[in-house]
Homo-oligomer: A and B are copies of this chain.
């Protein structure tokens, strides 16, 4: 069976056809413009690439993933201009005539890492992406994390020392929430140079604080952390060190005996986690 996958990000969409990392056919990437234009490009890509059994979409959010909801498959309260209350999955299903699976971009990436990457065999783990925004999701007790809605790691509240960092934060809803302080957008808005070590020390501090909260709530067996900001050399190492200091030995588990190198890891699938996970998502409804 051949599936279609869409990593529907706020900046770009990545569409692929295939069955997994060793059988990845055509991949196309285009910018996220208007909903009409963006959806049309995705439909054109799949329609011109032969027969697929189903499509999986990992979307930016917040999104409605409640199966019984009249707005299932829609993007809901996003602040992204033009995209609030957008029909995504039902529109694709109508246009392509195949079942469409719909989840968050981070849950899709988590599914990819669980199937082929850094989280194979784990029962409970989290995936976090630190890019323009901060998203999080994962698998709890063997299934994707859903619930009231879906996880929104980026909107946790974390300590903010205004003497050290007087920046107000960029979140239009919450100001200095986790995403408001530690996202790529926050780094840009705060200014400062990428060569400034203090800036990365501050970033590591915020990321470690957010990770402490993920560990204290979800208790993941591993955390996979990706996204553009994490490509900064040394940042992952700084975050591991600070995370260990903040936990202060309270959480004791064999996974942490050798330090955090095997606990807090980069995505094994790299930038392909999202689109590969979307293919896996498609498999669930085919």
Contacts and interface: CB of A to CB of B under 8 A. Distances in A.
Interface of A: 62, 66, 69, 76-77, 123-125, 136, 140-143, 145-160, 173-174, 209, 212-221, 246, 248-256
B62 A157 contact: no
Contact of A152 (B159, B246, B251, B255): B251
Contact of A217 (B142, B143, B146, B156): B156
A110 to B, nearest CB: 13
B157 A159 contact: yes
A140 B151 CA distance: 12
Contacts of A150: 219
A141 B146 CA distance: 8
Given A157-B158, A216-B155, A148 B246 contact: no
Contact of A148 (B62, B156, B220, B250): B220
Contacts of A209: 157
A136 B217 contact: yes
Nearest to A217: B217
The 10 closest A-B CB pairs, nearest first, are A147-B219, A124-B147, A140-B140, A217-B217, A141-B143, A141-B141, A173-B250, A156-B213, A156-B216, A152-B216
Contacts of A77: 249-250, 252
Contacts of A213: 156-157, 213, 217
Contacts of A124: 140, 145-148
A157 B250 CA distance: 13
Given A152-B219, A159-B158, A142 B141 contact: yes
B219 A153 contact: no
A182 to B, nearest CB: 13
Contacts of A214: 217
Contacts of A140: 124, 140-141, 145, 147, 218
Nearest to A125: B147
Nearest to A68: B254
A218 B219 contact: no
Contacts of A147: 123-125, 140, 218-221
